[in-house]
Amino acid sequence: MACSNPLVVRLISDYSCPFCFLAFVKLVQGIALLPADLQNNVKIEAGVFQLNGSLPKKGINKKEYLRSMLGSGYDSAFKDLKMKAEPWNIYMREGGLIGNSFDAHRITLEAEDQGLGIQMVGCLCSECRIIIGFCVS
């Protein structure tokens, strides 16, 4: 039975945040588990939040940056992230770069104005090695 008022979920995230990416995957896959009539009554809107606007566009060493932010808590945070991601067939790696996500957010907001924001999030996340620096299998 179709609902007259769809459930609107606003996903506010940053492409440079691995926890945001994991939440996006869980949300999309969770909705896919719903019966078709309920799936059709869920609308995901894309919102943006830039965690660090001072990161350079070309990126910096991700592990060093996150270690500088989390200090001694880095190892346990990364281990926890890996443990939470693997059941969703997402395999996090420590290497690579992390960079400024402003342009990705700008594109996402422009797509959202056309009703395609969440599709843009999916497209940009599929390029995760470039956009967020994490490996997805």
Q: What would the DSSP string read from start to end of the chain? A: ---SSPEEEEEEE-TT-HHHHHHHHHHHHHHHTS-HHHHTTEEEEEEE--S-TTS-TT-EEHHHHHHHHHGGGHHHHHHHHHHHHGGGTB---S-SEE---HHHHHHHHHHHHTT-HHHHHHHHHHTHHHHT---B-
Model confidence pLDDT, tens digit, residues 83-136: 998 888 888 888 888 889 899 889 889 998 998 888 888 777 755 443 343 333
**Mean pLDDT (whole number) for 11-33:** 86
This prediction has a pTM of: 0.76
Q: What is the pLDDT of residues 31-70, one digit of tens each?
A: 889 999 888 899 888 888 888 999 999 999 989 999 998 9
What are the structural domains, with CATH classification, of the chain?
Answer: 7-131 (3.40.30.10)
